[in-house]
Amino acid sequence: MWGSSVFLCYKKSVPASNSIAYKAGLIFRYPEDDYESFPLSESVPLFCLPMGATIECWDPQTKYPLPVFSTFVLTGSSAEKVYGAAIQFYEPYSWELLTEKQLMQLGLLTPVERKIVSKSINSNKCICLLSHWPFFEAFRKFLMFIYKLSVSGPHPLPIEKYISHFMQNIPFPSPQRPRILVQLSVHDALILSQPVSTPLPLSGANFSTLLMNLGPENCVTLLLFVLLESKILLHSLRPAVLTGVAEAVVAMIFPFQWQCPYIPLCPLSLAGMLSAPLPFIVGVDSRYFDLHDPPQDVVCIDLDTNMLYVQKF
């Protein structure tokens, strides 16, 4: 047929592995009791594992993925921000802890012969650090150091000693000592630097990351949508960039303040708020689109492809 075109459109998606999803929970915390001025939010486990907690079944030859670093922001009722830095990783999970139904759900138990299939069972876990200060790079180095300790051989000191030393004995940067060098081991060190004094409010904004991922033209367009109080959805397969970009977006409108919902890294279980009838700035893992389609009135910003998508409605 002349003058006509046929387009075949399909949606790419990661093949689903045999897995069991469950509600993330808190295994251990330090300190064990809340500070009076810094209570621990019950939603922290959700933000540590934004795509959910899972038990997964892999082929025995499958290599463990590298740990994934992410950051997030919790905003209290008084608009005070708490910054979170987290490292997510996988570790073996004993099949003896699973019920027969769960074994079949994971494809480990054949329904007829009732034989256990030889596969690797793993679950995702997370180490997280919370602070009123957005020292994300220093926190990343500390969390990676703790993770490496946890997966390496026995050590003279327990991991808890390293954590308590970092939390209790390391001084905070001050005008007299603006830079603090923390020697974690012979090969590992980090620097805590006092935030630069600027007229802008303290935030975890990373303007260089914003420009590198969007470019100047898209940044200006994004600023326009923020000033128009649009529904803005940032997404990336790199969760570590979402918070820095979202913080930069809200910092761009200074001296104005963003008063609407603001979740730089939104857990999948809270993604229903994208249908809320009010403006928001929300960031999600791009795997969200494997499961859901965003509402039509949302401005989608893809930080991995430097694309800004506005649906017509």
Convert the pLDDT of each residue in 190-216 to its tens digit. 999 887 777 777 889 999 999 999 999
Using DSSP, state whether 272 is helix, strand or coil. Answer: helix
Which pLDDT value is given to residue 109? Answer: 77
Distance CA 216, CA 137 (A): 25
- What span, in angstroms and rounded, lies between the C-alpha atoms of 196 and 184? 25
Model confidence at 225: pLDDT above 70: yes
pLDDT greater than 80 at residue 57: yes
pLDDT at 294 over 70: yes
What kind of architecture, by CATH, is found in domain 207-310? Answer: 3-Layer(aba) Sandwich (3.40)
pLDDT range class, residue 14, cuts 50, 70, 90: low
Residues 6+ apart with CB under 8 A from 184: 141, 142, 145, 162, 166, 190
The one-character DSSP state at 73 is E
Q: Quick one: pLDDT at residue 197?
A: 75
Helix (H) or strand (E) holding 128: strand 120-131
Over pLDDT 90: what percentage of the chain? Answer: 52
H helices present in the chain, as ranges: 44-48, 100-105, 136-151, 159-168, 207-227, 239-251
Between the CA of residue 264 and those of 74, 198, 252, what are the distances in Å? 9, 23, 15
Beta-strand pair 231-236/280-285: parallel
Token match 């918070």: residue?
243
Q: What tens digit of pLDDT does each residue of 259-285 get?
A: 999 999 999 999 888 998 999 999 999
Whether residue 255 has a cis bond before it, omega within 30° of 0: yes
Give φ, ψ of 17 to 5 degrees.
Answer: -90, 165
Average pLDDT over residues 95-118: 78
User: What is the Cα–Cα distance from 218 to 228, expressed in whole angstroms?
Assistant: 15
Residue 230: CB atoms within 10 A of its CB come to 17
pLDDT class of 311 with cuts at 50, 70, 90: confident
What's the confidence (pLDDT) of residue 236? 95
End-to-end CA distance of the chain: 31
143 has a pLDDT exceeding 70: yes
At 61, the pLDDT band (50, 70, 90 cuts) reads confident
CA distances from 34 to 28, 37, 155, 177 (A): 13, 8, 29, 28
Mean local confidence (pLDDT), 15-44: 85
Position 90 scores a pLDDT of 94
Q: Which two structure tokens, joined as six digits, stand for 206?
A: 């990373």
- State the chain's mean pLDDT as an integer: 87
CA dist 74 and 82 (Å) reads 5
- Give the Cα separation of 265 and 240 in Å (integer): 9
Residue 142's nearest CA partner among 172, 178, 183 is: 183
User: Tens digits of per-residue pLDDT, 235-251?
Assistant: 999 999 999 999 999 99
Q: Provide the pLDDT for residue 1.
A: 42
Task: Report the pLDDT averaged over residues 218-234.
Answer: 95
**What's the confidence (pLDDT) of residue 292?**
85
Residue 85, pLDDT above cutoff 90: yes
Q: How far apart are CA 302 and CA 155, in angstroms?
A: 43
Query: Tell me, what's the pLDDT at 8?
Result: 59
Q: Is the predicted pLDDT of residue 7 greater than 70, yes or no?
A: no
**What is the dihedral sign for C-alpha 238, 240, 241, 243?**
positive
| pLDDT beyond 70 at 313 | no
DSSP, res 212? H
**CA–CA dist 226, 253 (Å, integer):** 8
List Cα–Cα distances, 52 to 23, 63, 211, 278, 287, in angstroms.
7, 21, 30, 26, 12
- The per-residue pLDDT for 115 is 64
Q: Per-residue b/e over 66-102, b at no fewer than 16 CB within 10 Å? A: ebbbbbbbbeeeeeebbbbbbbbbbeebebeebeeee
Can you give the residue ranges of every domain in the chain? Answer: 19-134, 207-310
Indicate the pTM of the whole model. Answer: 0.87
